[in-house]
Amino acid sequence: MAVGFRLYLITGPGSFPAFDALYAAVESALKGGVTAVQLREKSLPIRDYMQRAERMRELTSRYGAKLFVNDRIDIAVAVEADGVHLGQSSVPPYAAKNVSERLVVGVSTHGPAEARRAVAEGADFLTLGPVFPTPSKMQYGAPVGLDVLKEVVAEAPVPVFGIGGIKEGNVAAVMQTGAYGIALISGILGAPDVTAAAQEYIRRTGEGI
């Protein structure tokens, strides 16, 4: 399926000391043209996660952007998010679709075997990484590199987004593998000018062209 975006912005836990600051940064990214946001707050108590998802749903709707909720299918359904993003220890994609057929389901993968399983279980799109070294993905081991990304892209019948260590200078290399797009956190949310960074990454992915 065509997911309709090539830049996938993910909110990293601990990126900002307060949710209001994260909310403001995401709004700046939306002003820069971001059209898909994943709210990733798995460590929060469910009520707090729900409240943040409600606010993020209102914000993304105001800008016509898609909202994905990390891991929590119940919250995604409750706030009428566009989709859910699942990890390797989450329920399989088909289970999420059994709860709500309208959910678009993304799955985090770290190699060809995981990618094949996610597709077989009904994933609508994949993230694959870490492509490059990045502190946020150190728990997943050494970077998979561009060759593995290219292999997964060639095999997968669904869009694949490169993730992990994505910077302005390596976006072209990622896109040259045939990847559908890129997923990132700090490249935008950690930038001095979030709106300008979002615009530049969008330009480099070719979204809207």
Q: pLDDT of 64-110, one tens digit each?
A: 999 999 999 999 999 999 999 999 999 999 999 999 999 999 999 99
Tell me if 1 is assigned to some domain: no
| CA-CA-CA-CA torsion sign (150, 13, 11, 205) | negative
- Using CA atoms, how far residue 32 sits from 39, 51, 56, 163, in Å, is 18, 25, 16, 20
Q: pTM of the predicted model, to two decimals?
A: 0.95
Tell me if 2 is assigned to some domain: no
Tell me if 122 is assigned to some domain: yes
DSSP at 124 = S
CATH classification of the domain holding 200: 3.20.20.70
Q: Is 94 helix (H, G, I), strand (E, B) or coil?
A: helix
Whole-angstrom Cα distance, residue 111 to residue 45?
31
Number of Cβ within a 10 Å radius of residue 45? 9
Whole-angstrom Cα distance, residue 37 to residue 82?
10
Q: pLDDT of 137-173, one tens digit each?
A: 566 568 999 999 999 999 999 999 999 999 999 999 9
Whole-angstrom Cα distance, residue 92 to residue 115?
12
Range of the domain at 165: 7-205
The number of distinct structural domains making up the chain is 1
Q: Is 169 helix (H, G, I), strand (E, B) or coil?
A: helix
Ramachandran bin of 183, using left for φ above 0, alpha for ψ from -120 to 50, beta for the remaining angles? beta
Tell me if 128 is assigned to some domain: yes
135 exposure class (CB count in 10 Å sphere: 0-12, 13-18, 19+): exposed
Average pLDDT across the chain, whole number: 94
Tell me if 179 is assigned to some domain: yes
Whole-angstrom Cα distance, residue 163 to residue 137?
9
Q: Report pLDDT for 42.
A: 82
